[in-house]
């Protein structure tokens, strides 16, 4: 396709309004890939959230925390010309990779809950999600069409948010 | 961007620690499989999390990960990464067919013995009281496994200290790569015990 891909790695986020641009997070485990799209404007953003909350920690990179990453992603989308009221969210990841293990590995579920809470506070609807379970996942966001796809480890690519679908879904 | 905060001298000392730890682990693996096992020269790398995941290899590649927690004077995680074909080969060396119901527990046991001997060597060298937690095993995307382990240590800092080395079973083209990821406080404790804090 010749699309240029931007990798959004652990604790990073990216916003794009460039047609032909694809935002990608490869191999999400307990982390959440949060895609936000404004399909009217053809603007999309992707955040790779690592942990639920900063809990007052003064980390050098607060973007790894849901409570910083989600508002920051929305700010950057708005700065690029998106309207908050048109934003639609797709969540991917939050898996429990190791079935039997310590409580710290339940971080996947806590990540999803924290991201959803942030979205609720910002009144952004979650249109689709591929979360939980035990498998790693890759998320791709096609900026121009606002199509969001997920691929599970050992699986095929599945479309979570249709690119050309007219949005008439209630939150 | 944050920068690695360890000196070359500190990284050298940690590398030496990893060398002795993986030497002990290779002896354990060799005894278990009744075959000679080679070890590579270990790396000690202090990397931002995103780069630490990339350094592990192609994120979407299938890998079998065996993870053991470390608790006590130092908290951290030992992660063993085995390509699925190599995991199958090791199961066969133990007389277990890879599709057998016991294959997963055989792998867990390899991880347990190799990981525990590594942790015990660390404890003996540093005088720390540390213990392994029981192993957990998953076969999945490399990136997903590594980032999940790193996420468990991501709260306090942005830099992962990764000590890695490879164990290769001679004549079998079969290898395990070995990562020790101490949490931030754990690294400080390690360096303090080495007199390098």
Partners of residue B50 in chain A, C-beta under 8 Å:
9-12
pLDDT of the residue at B161:
82
Give the β-pairing of A147-152 and A126-131: unpaired
What tokens were used for A103? Answer: 């409580």
C-alpha Rg value of chain B to the nearest Å: 16
Mutate which: A153, A155, A156, A157, vs B, most B CBs within 10 A = A153
Residue ranges, chain B, pLDDT below 50: 1-3
Contact B53 A9 (CB under 8 A): yes
Nearest-CB residue to A27 (from B60, B151, B152): B60
> Which whole number is the average pLDDT over A3-26?
95
Q: What is the DSSP letter of B134?
A: P
Express each pLDDT in A128-154 by its tens digit.
999 999 999 999 999 999 999 999 988
Express each pLDDT in A93-118 by its tens digit.
999 988 655 555 588 999 999 999 99
CA-closest candidate to residue A125, choices A93, A160, A162, A88: A88
Distance from CA of A19 to the nearest CA of B (A): 25
Estimate to the nearest angstrom the gap between the alpha carbon of B45 and the chain centroid: 13
Separation in Å, CA A70 to CA A92, A111, A158, B66: 14, 12, 24, 32
Express each pLDDT in A33-52 by its tens digit.
999 999 999 999 999 999 99
Partners of residue A50 in chain B, C-beta under 8 Å:
49, 147, 151, 154
Confidence grade of residue A59 (pLDDT, cut at 50, 70, 90): low
Q: Which residues pair with B44 in a beta bridge?
A: B163
Partners of residue B136 in chain A, C-beta under 8 Å:
98-101, 105
Contact B147 A27 (CB under 8 A): yes
Give the residue from chain B lying closest to A49, CA to CA.
Answer: B151
Contact A104 B144 (CB under 8 A): no
Count of CA atoms in the C-beta half-sphere (13 A) of A54: 17
């Amino acid at each position: 396709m010749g699309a240029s891909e931007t990798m959004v790695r652990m604790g990073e986020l990216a916003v794009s309004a460039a047609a032909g641009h694809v935002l990608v997070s490869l191999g999400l485990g307990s982390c959440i890939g949060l895609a936000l799209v404004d399909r009217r404007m053809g603007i999309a953003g992707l955040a790779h959230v690592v942990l639920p909350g900063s809990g007052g920690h003064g980390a050098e990179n607060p973007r790894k925390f849901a409570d910083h990453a989600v508002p920051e992603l929305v700010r950057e989308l708005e700065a690029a010309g998106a309207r908050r009221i048109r934003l639609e969210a797709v969540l991917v990841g939050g898996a429990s990779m190791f079935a039997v293990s310590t409580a710290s590995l339940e971080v996947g579920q806590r990540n999803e809950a924290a991201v959803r809470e942030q979205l609720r506070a910002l009144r952004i609807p979650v249109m689709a999600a591929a979360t939980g379970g035990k498998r790693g996942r890759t998320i791709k966001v096609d900026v121009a069409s606002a199509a969001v796809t997920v691929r599970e480890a050992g699986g095929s690519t599945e479309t979570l948010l249709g690119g050309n679908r007219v949005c008439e879904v209630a939150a | 961007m944050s920068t690695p905060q360890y000196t070359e001298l500190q990284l050298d000392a940690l590398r030496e620690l990893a060398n002795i730890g993986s030497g002990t682990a290779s002896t354990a693996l060799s005894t278990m499989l009744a075959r000679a096992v080679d070890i590579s020269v270990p790396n000690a790398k202090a990397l931002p999390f995103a780069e630490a995941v990339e350094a592990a290899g192609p994120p979407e590649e299938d890998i079998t990960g065996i993870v053991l927690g470390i608790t006590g004077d130092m908290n951290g995680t030992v992660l063993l990464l085995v390509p699925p074909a190599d995991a199958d080969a090791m199961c066969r060396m133990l007389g277990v067919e890879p599709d057998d119901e016991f294959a997963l527990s055989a792998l867990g046991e390899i991880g347990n013995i190799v990981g525990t001997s590594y942790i015990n060597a660390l404890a003996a060298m540093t005088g720390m009281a540390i213990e392994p937690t029981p192993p957990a095993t998953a076969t999945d995307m490399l990136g997903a496994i590594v980032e999940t382990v790193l996420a468990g240590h991501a709260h306090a800092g942005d830099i992962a200290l990764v000590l890695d080395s490879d164990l290769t079973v001679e004549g079998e083209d079969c290898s395990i790569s070995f990562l020790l990821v101490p949490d931030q406080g754990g690294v400080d404790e390690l360096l303090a015990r080495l007199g390098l804090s």
